[in-house]
């Protein structure tokens, strides 16, 4: 019997009154393992009410005590590390190593939240005017909401709620209905860490649930990660209803390869960037731009490496390099893009449609796919495919390569592979995106730095992660004080 996920509201598991459910698959086998309900506006209101009622006491809880909850939560995440990784592999299809990376990067965010007492320290200036002292304090916003995608079941929720909660807010998580099991386990561990009831809540659902959260008058802030189309919608609707919003969207990340690059190291980095997590991440390297004489050696090296990759089920501890994509719809969409690329005239150097698996299963597989001679006007060069498809372009020089990258409407990451420091500096300065890699295939920043997408990859002012995350979940209060000072007479001043 499949598990039916309940909402987690006010510290209790509450069934959602719904006739609509989303199947949760084990992507390695194509088997349904759970169901996630579509929560209606009444369920959303119940969660918001629980979070609103818990807010005053939690906001008044000393920040050092809030940090202690995060310390205990981090300890529990470490204790249950392998279990969480296995859960991610089961419901998402990541390889065991990728799943462990998902959990590890999430724990780093909890560790950052443990620093809240230091990061939230305000500013003071005595005698800012005659007899007047000034100070700045940071205060929580209220009820905050996180809407998260399927591709990182642990890390992306942990991008959001640890900092929000450490800042004194209460939180409602609306996870992807495709991967609800990991977020529910995080809720259990938070409760075990001693978080008061109502401070953290989970509601499952899709578009109807999201709209109810966006429009609820008692929600103060919305954090979102997903496609650009939905990110823009979240930002526009959320801000129209008076919410503070940070909405991270999609990407088309360019990787420039200069002729002087270390080809073996570059190949390893590009293979990992393009095909890690089966290409299902907004920091995936999806376009490689070969500059000058780098073209032929790069294609030969990438094709050879891609054909050596072991593709197969990830849920049995097997030694594979790449697992399935999330479901059958994703598999079919990715394969349709391969057909589009062929029809547009790109050369298919490595075809992943008929990949030989390490083990036969009913899972959702597409193998590593590489196109050569891709031009900017092709859909495979412009659309976020969100799968293991790499497009290779060829240009004459660095200036043309930067111009190609800057044609993209997105702005998450861009990478250069070279031994030339001047070329790397020029690239980093003039490429139009927020996260830069120099001989680093996936320039996703650590928790202490903000995740700085630009252009159509981000809507809002304050980014996820780092100190910007703390600023997003708090607002400033400036206090000016004047007191008569009898001490001057006492001390003879």
122 within 8 A of 136, measured Cβ to Cβ: yes
Contacts for 6 with CB less than 8 Å, ≥ 6 apart: 13, 14, 15, 16, 37
Three-state DSSP state, 192: helix
**Pairing between strand 474-482 and 132-140?**
antiparallel
**Pairing between strand 253-257 and 12-14?**
unpaired
33 within 8 A of 179, measured Cβ to Cβ: no
Nearest Cα residue to 15 out of 41, 43, 34: 43
Q: Quote the crossing angle between the two packed helices 96-113 and 63-79, to the nearest 10°.
A: 160
Catalytic residue among 144, 167, 282, 433: 282
Kind and range of the H or E run holding 302: helix 295-307
Name the residue with tokens 């990478």. 415
90 within 8 A of 316, measured Cβ to Cβ: no
Burial of 439 (0-12, 13-18, 19+ CB in 10 A): middle
Kind and range of the H or E run holding 13: strand 12-14
Q: How far is 387 from 380, CA to CA, in rounded Å?
A: 11
Three-state DSSP state, 359: coil
Q: How far is 175 from 181, CA to CA, in rounded Å?
A: 9
Name the residue with tokens 């929580």. 140
305 within 8 A of 268, measured Cβ to Cβ: yes
Q: Is 282 a catalytic residue?
A: yes
Tell me the two tokens of residue 160: 């959001």
Each residue of 246-282: b (16+ CB within 10 Å) or e? Answer: bbbbbbbbbbbbbbebebeebbebbbbbbbbbbbbbb
How many C-beta neighbours within 10 Å does residue 152 have?
29
Catalytic center residues: 282
């Amino acid at each position: 019997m499949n598990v039916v996920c309940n909402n987690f509201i006010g510290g209790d598991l509450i069934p959602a009154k719904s006739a609509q459910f989303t199947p949760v698959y084990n992507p390695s086998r194509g088997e349904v393992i759970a169901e996630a309900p579509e929560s209606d506006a009444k369920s959303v209101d119940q969660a918001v009410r629980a979070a609103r009622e818990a807010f005053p006491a939690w906001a008044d809880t000393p920040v050092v005590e809030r940090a202690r909850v995060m310390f205990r939560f981090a300890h529990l995440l470490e204790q249950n590390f392998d279990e969480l990784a296995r859960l991610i592999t089961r419901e998402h299809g990541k390889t065991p190593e990728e799943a462990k990376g998902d959990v590890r990067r999430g724990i780093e965010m909890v560790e950052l939240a443990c620093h809240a007492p230091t990061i939230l320290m305000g500013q003071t200036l005595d005698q800012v005017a005659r007899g007047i002292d000034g100070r700045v304090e940071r205060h929580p916003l209220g009820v905050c909401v996180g809407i998260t995608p399927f591709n990182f079941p642990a890390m992306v929720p942990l991008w959001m709620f640890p900092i929000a909660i450490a800042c004194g807010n209460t939180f409602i998580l609306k996870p992807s209905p495709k991967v609800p099991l990991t977020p529910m386990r995080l809720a259990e561990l938070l409760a075990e860490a001693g978080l008061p009831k109502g401070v953290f809540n989970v509601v499952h659902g899709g578009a109807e649930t999201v709209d109810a959260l966006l429009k609820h008058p008692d929600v103060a802030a919305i954090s979102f990660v997903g496609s650009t189309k939905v990110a823009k919608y979240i930002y526009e609707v959320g801000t129209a209803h008076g919410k503070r919003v940070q909405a991270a969207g999609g990407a088309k990340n360019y990787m420039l390869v200069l002729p002087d690059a270390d080809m073996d190291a570059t190949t390893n980095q590009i293979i990992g960037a393009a095909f890690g997590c089966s290409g299902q991440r907004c920091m995936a390297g999806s376009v490689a731009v070969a500059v000058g004489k780098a073209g032929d050696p790069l294609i030969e090296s990438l094709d050879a490496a891609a054909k050596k990759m072991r593709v197969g089920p990830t849920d049995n501890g097997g030694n594979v390099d790449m697992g399935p994509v999330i479901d059958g719809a994703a598999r079919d969409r990715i394969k349709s893009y391969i057909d589009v690329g062929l029809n547009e005239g790109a050369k298919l150097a490595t075809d992943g449609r008929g990949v030989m698996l390490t083990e036969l299963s009913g899972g959702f597989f597409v193998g590593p796919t590489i196109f050569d001679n891709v031009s900017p006007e092709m859909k495979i060069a412009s659309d976020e495919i969100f799968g293991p498809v790499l497009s290779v372009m060829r240009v004459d020089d660095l200036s043309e390569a930067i111009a190609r990258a800057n044609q993209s409407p997105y702005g998450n990451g861009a990478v250069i592979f070279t031994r030339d420091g001047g070329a790397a500096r020029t690239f980093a300065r003039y490429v139009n995106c927020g996260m830069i890699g120099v001989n680093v295939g996936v320039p996703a920043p650590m928790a202490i730095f903000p995740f700085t997408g630009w252009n159509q990859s981000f809507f809002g002012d304050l980014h996820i992660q780092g100190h910007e995350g703390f600023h997003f979940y708090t607002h400033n209060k400036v206090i000016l004080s004047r007191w008569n000072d009898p001490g001057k007479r006492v001390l003879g001043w």
